[in-house]
Chain A
Amino acid sequence: MAVTDNEVKNKVESTQKAPQDTQNAKPELPNTKEGRLVKELLEKAPYAEGSVRREKRIEFRVPAERIHEFLEIASEKFEMLMQISVVDWLKEGEFELVYQLWSVSESVHAFVKTRISRENAKMPTVMDIWPVAETYEREAHEFFGIIFEGNPRLGPFILEPREYEKHPLRKDFNTLSYVKTIYGEDFDRYDESKTNYVI
């Protein structure tokens, strides 16, 4: 779908207008293929928030309990699940899961973000929508300890078994003390408070 000159102008106008009119209201979606895609999806799923980040990038925020429902609707346009990445927000006590979707027909990259609590983190699996999700969920399970209900192969995956129990990409995992117990005391360059250079 080619973007004509008119549409580009519209996009510029709408982005300039939005902050002037109302500060608190949601910014208007631009009249591009990305904007129309977001609008179309939000009509089907009004509980989500959507925005256009830039050309070929769109973003959604979805409450965790409705993520499966939303992704099922989104999978009509987005044929590919590219990655499930996890961000650990330690102070807020939350994991942010980012489902990265790619639309082959529209060539648009979508981020679907959702937040869950760090304690007893549980999510429904999306293997029934995209079978490839199995691998990504196993990885997220191993590194962060999120349990994806319905995925049959959760368990030790890439790491050594002793690391699997600790979930090393969590922000409260102390790498330095772990390194000292596994590889020996005499290899660190800073002291425990990371202020003095030792070697």
Chain B
Amino acid sequence: MGGDFISYELKEFKLFEPLFRWARKKSIWLVAFCTGCGGIEMPPLVTARYDIERFGMMPNPAPRMADLFLITGYVTPKTLKRIIITYELMPDPKYILAHGSCPINGGVYWDSYNVVKQLDKYIPIDVAIAGCMPRPEAVMDGIREIMRKIENGEADGWRRYRENYEWYRKNQDELFGEGWRERDAKRWLAWL
């Protein structure tokens, strides 16, 4: 941990930490990045019936302004590359909510050659919702859970990712091969 980034653990901020947490909990912006079958569960969530905007949540076009990354279904190695890059573009603090059984253990794709079996090995997950697919009520429950965790300070995936970066990086390199960032990600984002 170098000294060239702003730490939220500074003494001056400690006093306002409950206020920050409350504000973060009430203004979660989503990355509009849908993977797998759960993308089709998003429209009922954001439209009138389950309307997540009453929690201050909003689909957001840019990862630079986002807080919550929804992994909505199975993840292939090709998608995982994009997910990792998008996740690293997001500013701290950032949270991941994983839908369905596929990110947990592969789900129905347990013997598929092309589905990542345990997503937690590659990026940190804060809340996982079981089900195939979870109904919007279950997703709402997961959202409430992550709001509770943010308020209590338990949603520390971004901190775990920073502290155990070597381990996550090793797992990613095992799956994609050494130097995949230079090989693939540079083609999408030249400044990386």
29 A–B pairs (Cβ distance < 8 Å), ordered by A: A158-B78, A159-B114, A160-B78, A163-B113, A163-B114, A168-B113, A168-B114, A173-B113, A175-B111, A175-B113, A176-B111, A178-B113, A179-B110, A179-B111, A179-B112, A179-B113, A179-B117, A182-B113, A182-B175, A183-B116, A183-B117, A184-B117, A187-B105, A187-B110, A187-B117, A187-B118, A188-B110, A188-B111, A189-B110
How far, in Å, is A165 (CB) from chain B's closest CB? Answer: 12
Q: How many residues of B contact A (CB 8 A)?
A: 14
Query: 11 more A-B contacts (CB under 8 A) besides A179-B110, A183-B106, A187-B110?
Result: A159-B114, A163-B114, A178-B113, A179-B111, A182-B113, A182-B175, A183-B116, A183-B118, A183-B175, A187-B118, A188-B110
Residues in A lying within 8 Å of B, measured CB to CB: 158-160, 163, 168, 173, 175-176, 178-179, 182-184, 187-189
A-contact bits for B94-114, CB 8 A (1 contact / 0 none):
000000000001100011111
Docked CA distance A163–B77 (Å): 11
Docked CA distance A179–B171 (Å): 15
How far, in Å, is B113 (CB) from chain A's closest CB? Answer: 5
Task: Give chain A residues whose Cβ lies under 8 Å from the Cβ of B176.
Answer: 160
Q: Which residue of A lies closest to B77 (CB)?
A: A160
Docked CA distance A173–B111 (Å): 12
Docked CA distance A179–B115 (Å): 9
Task: Give chain A residues whose Cβ lies under 8 Å from the Cβ of B114.
Answer: 159, 163, 168
Task: Give chain A residues whose Cβ lies under 8 Å from the Cβ of B78.
Answer: 158, 160
Docked CA distance A159–B118 (Å): 20
Docked CA distance A187–B117 (Å): 7
How far, in Å, is A150 (CB) from chain B's closest CB? Answer: 29
Q: Which residue of B lies closest to A163 (CB)?
A: B113
Task: Give chain B residues whose Cβ lies under 8 Å from the Cβ of A175.
Answer: 111-113
Task: Give chain B residues whose Cβ lies under 8 Å from the Cβ of A176.
Answer: 111
A-contact bits for B68-112, CB 8 A (1 contact / 0 none):
000000000110000000000000000000000000011000111
Docked CA distance A158–B77 (Å): 11
Q: Which residue of B lies closest to A176 (CB)?
A: B111
Q: Which residue of B lies closest to A161 (CB)?
A: B177
Q: Which residue of B lies closest to A178 (CB)?
A: B113
Task: Give chain A residues whose Cβ lies under 8 Å from the Cβ of B77.
Answer: 160
Q: Which residue of B lies closest to A183 (CB)?
A: B117
Docked CA distance A51–B117 (Å): 45
What are the 3 tightest A-B residue pairs by CB atom distance, in nearest-first order?
A187-B117, A183-B117, A176-B111
Docked CA distance A183–B102 (Å): 14
Task: Give chain B residues whose Cβ lies under 8 Å from the Cβ of A168.
Answer: 113-114
Docked CA distance A179–B113 (Å): 6
Q: Could you tell me which residues of chain B, from 110 to 169, have a CB within 8 Å of some CB in chain A?
A: 110-114, 116-118
Q: Which residue of A lies closest to B105 (CB)?
A: A187
Task: Give chain B residues whose Cβ lies under 8 Å from the Cβ of A187.
Answer: 105-106, 110, 117-118
Task: Give chain A residues whose Cβ lies under 8 Å from the Cβ of B111.
Answer: 175-176, 179, 188
Docked CA distance A144–B159 (Å): 44
Docked CA distance A168–B114 (Å): 9
Task: Give chain A residues whose Cβ lies under 8 Å from the Cβ of B117.
Answer: 179, 183-184, 187
Task: Give chain B residues whose Cβ lies under 8 Å from the Cβ of A178.
Answer: 113
Docked CA distance A182–B122 (Å): 13
How far, in Å, is B179 (CB) from chain A's closest CB? Answer: 13
